[in-house]
Amino acid sequence: MNRTNKRKLVTFGRIITTGMTNFIRNASLAAAAIAVMVVTLTIVLFSLIANATFTNTIAQITNKIDISVYLKDSATKEQQQAFVKSIKKLPDVASVSFLSKDQALQSYIKDNAKNPQLLQAINATDNPLPATIKVKPRNLNQIGTIKNFLVLPANAALQTADSPSYNGDRKQAIDTITHATNVLRTIGIASVIIFTIICALIIFNTIQMAIFNRRDELTIMRLLGASTSYIRGPFVVESAIYGVLSAILSMVIINAAFIASSSALQATSLGLLDINFASDYFGQHFLQLLGLQLLVGILIGIASSTIATRRYLKFKTK
């Protein structure tokens, strides 16, 4: 290692050390900035976890939704096969499965194994269930398009009077969760922006006060030949420490909230939020979420302090 690189390394180490010393010295001034940054990062973290949880809930409900097409007993095997092929060709269809009358009966018996009255009624008669085509859509918003195809005169002629049908209540549940997700995302983004601005302003003012308190010391450093980056560096490091501590505190708060909800409250859900999945997601992605929190916190701190030092040190250090 040559002299120049060694000198740069020593200077960098001194900047880090001075920044940490300044943080301890200005702990009372930093408290407000850290508090607001903790709130900001907690909102960011909660929004990410809630969005992932709602997405998972929507996916689970979506997998349970299909369109049932009931075929008349008079439909021939060739007509059934041709109808199935035509449905598979639709671009909005994810999958198609065919159940013959016997398979439909076995499926009904399996689904109602705990209801002896229904089983007794179905066994008392010849198989009344029609052959059924189960259609899973790619996108729930395209269910209407699929149904429009199914009710075309040529296709409707092969179906019973109550065909096609689908679980509309599940579609409504998905619409509700999707709406809640969009609202939460909008509120989360707005809250993050507002608190980020507040946090940046508080850090800005904190650095301004620190510069004012050390104005004589900084002037002497400048007169002795200290570079602008050497003088500004500790303030940037100090603000970065705000971000690091705030990120760690936000993770502790969210973790404590999950522990409280699962143990003290013994809750598995909070409204539309699946707490069990959210807690598992938090645990499985802990390092990624911590890294993101650290990155956001440090960026907010560095950006705020850089603007503050550029504004207030360019005159006070000449």
Point out the domain boundary residue: 140, 166, 192: 166
Q: Are 23 and 81 members of one domain? A: no
Question: How many alpha carbons lie under 13 Å from residue 315 in its C-beta half-sphere?
Answer: 5
- The alpha helices in 260-285, defined as continuous H runs, are 275-284
- Domain CATH code at residue 72: 3.30.70.3040
Residue 42 CA to residue 248 CA, distance in Å, equals 10
The dihedrals phi and psi of 214, each to the nearest 5 degrees, come to -110, 20
- Residues 49 and 74 placed together within one structural domain of the fold: no
Same domain, 51 and 80: no
> Do residues 239 and 202 share a domain?
yes
Of 141, 166, 191, which closes a domain? Answer: 166
Tens digit of each residue's pLDDT, the chain (318 residues): 567 777 777 777 887 888 888 778 777 777 878 888 888 888 888 888 888 887 787 777 767 777 888 888 888 888 888 888 888 888 888 888 888 877 877 777 777 667 666 666 566 567 777 888 888 887 766 777 888 888 888 888 888 877 777 655 556 665 676 676 677 778 777 877 887 788 778 877 777 777 777 777 777 777 777 777 777 788 888 888 888 999 999 999 988 888 877 665 554 555 556 778 888 888 898 999 999 899 988 988 888 888 887 776 664 444
Residue 90, token pair as written in the block? 């639709």
Domain match, 49 and 103 both? no
Q: Are residues 239 and 91 in the same domain?
A: no
Residues 113 and 185 in one domain: no
State pTM to two decimals: 0.66
Q: Do 304 and 192 lie in a common domain?
A: yes
Domain that holds residue 289: 3-61+173-316
Task: Say yes or no: 312 and 186 in one domain.
Answer: yes
Give phi and psi for 143, each to the nearest 5.
-60, -40
Listed residues 151, 166, 181: the one ending a domain: 166
20 and 148 fall within a common domain: no
Residues 87, 115: one domain? Answer: yes
Number of structural domains the chain divides into: 2
Residues 211 and 309 in one domain: yes
User: Closest Cα to residue 180, out of 54, 47, 65, 276?
Assistant: 54
